[in-house]
Chain A
Amino acid sequence: MIRLFHVYKKFGANSALNDVTLNVDEGEFAFITGPSGAGKSTLLRIMFGAEQPTSGQVLVNSVNFNRIRRQKLDLLRRRIGFVFQDFKLLNDRTVSDNVAVALLASGERGAFVRKRTHQALKLVGLSGKGKSFPRQLSGGEQQRVAIARAIVNNPVLLLADEPTGNLDPDLTRDIMVLFRSIHLRGTTVLIATHSRELLSETKRRRIVLNRGVVVEDR
């Protein structure tokens, strides 16, 4: 699903990633971990095409980001879901509209959008909150809305950047259960986190970054 070959990323004189080479297979559920500033978010953003590597090759779902055109990248992103720590919801739109935006941006409309939005909200346990606004929800519920938006297009890959960073331990567990259920539906899931509690509860693969270098992969 994801292939990185000797990826480097520099921001001015600072190196965010140094010679990162890794594979994530289709259907995998893995964590990227490491201390703050290790390069986790940069790595996810490169996998999503939001950042260009300074050098190296990035292939996602068999598409080489170095050779892809802007329009093709837009189409590829419809197959990749992304969840942020700060949710990134539109506060002036209802929960349903926040989820539906991903479908509308993909060119879907009408009854299909309503049906898929309802299904996604049901999956994350928010089927009764469609008409609420994000500010009327708890942090955990807002993150569920963000996850619903990320999965509403049935992505092949779900990337999450510190998705539980703003949540308490109980809500963190709920969200992880949700990610596992999404993974069981066949989606490849990759989560960046520095939470030791989260990692201690799982034996899944973890890719450990430190100062932009993969120091452990098991």
Chain B
Amino acid sequence: MLRRAPYFFVQAVKNLRNNLGVHLIGMGTTTVSLVIFGIFLLVFVNVNSWVRGLGGSGTMSVFLEDPTDESQLLSIREAIESIEGAEVVRYLSKEDALQDMKRFLGPHEELIDTLDSNPFPASYEVVFEGKTHPSNPEAVRSKLESIENVESVQFTEQWISSVKGMLAVVKVAGIGIGCLLGLGVLTIVTNTMRLTIYSRRDEIEILKMVGATDAFVKAPFFLEGLIHGSLAGGAALAVLFAGYKVLSLQKETIPGLGILNVDFISAPYFMALWAAGVFLGLFGSFIALGRFFRQYERGETL
């Protein structure tokens, strides 16, 4: 079979060329669907990475009342570190908090300038031994809040868990939409392949007449489906990567994205997305050929 590969390849390319219109429509649809799925993947991967980065440290933010002088800061720090397992890892002054907010707002940072005074409190970031939250966080919160000049305490885990909840929704929605898009694309690819198979039914009849095996007849169509899926998968990755590059270059101008690190999908996801295109192309050919040959055996197609 392999020694006939050049013949199959030539036939597959001829089929593609002769049915270019339907193939372009099919590939376009496959590409758009894979891009949509890729966007879900990109969002999921990045949000997951941000949450992991924040949640892994088990951080608590201890916000301080204004104004707080050096000696008060020191005594608050000592009080915090007197709690079992607690360690202050960072002091965020009011000015630091203001600058963080400016970076967060990106091009809209001038909004901050409209404020009469700096409204952001200074804070300590506290982690616990083993970098996980204490077994009884509410008791620790009470202890921290009882320290003089401490205004409030925020568990990063609280909002992380709500973001994780949202992430789970994104994940389920992504899988659901991916499955629906996959089914839609499969139908389109199957019909595209059916059109190309029917356009060459005379050739199939002649090939069967001169003793070609089913595998010999089917191979160029499988190859055609494979090329269709590969090109659509490749185009989807190119579009996704171009979109990611544009986003990376423009992210400073998008409020909230400036301080975040946006990554492209990793190599395994990259390959999986391309493989999804290949699989859809091949499976579409498989279904279309199966239907055609069942009809052929019943004498309905010729």
Is B211's CB under 8 angstroms from A78's CB? Answer: yes
- Across-interface contacts of A51 in B (CB, < 8 A): 299
Is B216's CB under 8 angstroms from A105's CB? Answer: yes
Does any Cβ of A come within 8 Å of B7's Cβ? yes
From B186-194, B201-209, B268-276, the one touching the partner chain is: B201-209
CB-contact partner of A102 in B4, B14, B210, under 8 A: B210
- Across-interface contacts of A24 in B (CB, < 8 A): none
Does any Cβ of B come within 8 Å of A118's Cβ? no
Does any Cβ of B come within 8 Å of A71's Cβ? yes
Does any Cβ of A come within 8 Å of B214's Cβ? yes
CB-contact partner of A109 in B4, B205, B212, B216, under 8 A: B4
Interface residues of A, count at CB 8 A: 24
User: Given that A88-B205, A109-B3 are contacting pairs, would A102 and B211 also be in contact in the complex, using a CB cutoff of 8 Å?
Assistant: yes
Q: With CB as the reference atom, state the residue of chain B lying closest to A79.
A: B211
Does any Cβ of A come within 8 Å of B135's Cβ? no
User: 1/0 per residue A170-211: CB within 8 Å of B?
Assistant: 000000000000000000000000000000000000000000
Does any Cβ of A come within 8 Å of B266's Cβ? no
- Across-interface contacts of B18 in A (CB, < 8 A): 92
Is B209's CB under 8 angstroms from A82's CB? Answer: yes
Report A12-71 residues with CB < 8 Å from chain B CB: 48, 50-51, 70-71
Does any Cβ of A come within 8 Å of B117's Cβ? no
Question: How far in angstroms is the closest Cβ of chain A from B20?
Answer: 14
Question: How far in angstroms is the closest Cβ of chain B from A102?
Answer: 4
Q: With CB as the reference atom, state the residue of chain A lying closest to B209.
A: A82
User: Given that A51-B299, A109-B3 are contacting pairs, would A88 and B209 also be in contact in the complex, using a CB cutoff of 8 Å?
Assistant: yes
Q: With CB as the reference atom, state the residue of chain A lying closest to B216.
A: A105
Does any Cβ of B come within 8 Å of A117's Cβ? no
CB-contact partner of A88 in B7, B202, B211, B213, under 8 A: B202
Is B299's CB under 8 angstroms from A78's CB? Answer: no
Is B202's CB under 8 angstroms from A104's CB? Answer: no
Is A74's CB under 8 angstroms from B213's CB? Answer: yes
CB-contact partner of B210 in A50, A70, A149, under 8 A: A149
Is B212's CB under 8 angstroms from A74's CB? Answer: yes
- Distance in angstroms between the alpha carbons of A77 and B203 in the assembled complex: 16
Is A101's CB under 8 angstroms from B207's CB? Answer: yes
Is B209's CB under 8 angstroms from A77's CB? Answer: yes
- A contacts, CB < 8 Å to B: 48, 50-51, 70-71, 74-79, 82, 88, 90, 92, 101-102, 104-107, 109, 149, 153
- B contacts, CB < 8 Å to A: 3-4, 7, 14, 18, 202-203, 205-214, 216, 299
27 residue pairs of the A-B complex, CB under 8 angstroms, read: A50-B209, A70-B214, A74-B213, A75-B211, A76-B211, A77-B208, A77-B209, A77-B210, A78-B210, A79-B211, A88-B205, A88-B206, A90-B202, A90-B203, A90-B206, A101-B207, A102-B210, A102-B211, A104-B7, A105-B212, A105-B213, A105-B216, A106-B210, A106-B211, A109-B4, A149-B210, A153-B211
